[in-house]
Structure 1
């Protein structure tokens, strides 16, 4: 009888634990807000955990936040993918400072992948008034010059 009660109490405690975990961690509507909280605290790894499972239908701006968190953790390909998704979905208002930042960062992240795409986004960011884009365009010009003058190893 005593053993049965212990097992029953253990099962009830386990069920409560599952409810608490499910409510606090898997509540999709809270994941975006929690991710933003962790970004504001500069806890980017934690923010990624929440933003990856955010409701992107309800919070499409989560792509931008997730891109920023990936950028801050040196996961550049994932940052680029999320920034491109933000750009393609027109999540940000084009008059917003975050929009020129987004366009500039896409250009920067394309620097070593696709020079033409990099130039497209950096020039667009410059037209939008992004202050960093001018320097980034100069870096791109230098990179293109180096590539142009590099010996062809296939000869």
Structure 2
């Protein structure tokens, strides 16, 4: 079920309302999109542009097709900073997303209040989706209650095209 109800003072944005365990519907219900897991063929590949690893589709997908959810550990900004400072290795291989930038809040959020999603240690294939500042092939559509970040195509893509996204809430 899609809603046009805005949240936290954001500009109007679509979101998905998923059925859950207490719902009496069938497990194949149309409101269980995210729970069906990844059903499209994806490939992790080394990008030729030197961006490192990327993710691409191996099949043509229509606009609006579900790709995957972004999975990771939920940390505060403070915890994330401490993890990054104390961690050896290449800082470019971190897979972090800011979950709450304080939209609609009365004041500035403290570091211990801001939540981040870190897919560096615990995550899934979505960690390889590269960021693009504009013309991204994926858009974020929040999913009510379960997790805040799922990816859907907003344009049709041909097979072998890299998946990219713009992090953050947009109108």
**Normalising TM by the smaller chain, what interval?**
under 0.3
TM-score (norm 2): 0.19
TM-score (norm 1): 0.21
Higher fraction of strand: 2
Question: Computing the radius of gyration over CA atoms, which structure comes out larger, 1 or 2?
Answer: 1
Higher RCO (CA < 8 A, seq sep 6+): 2
Higher fraction of helix: 1
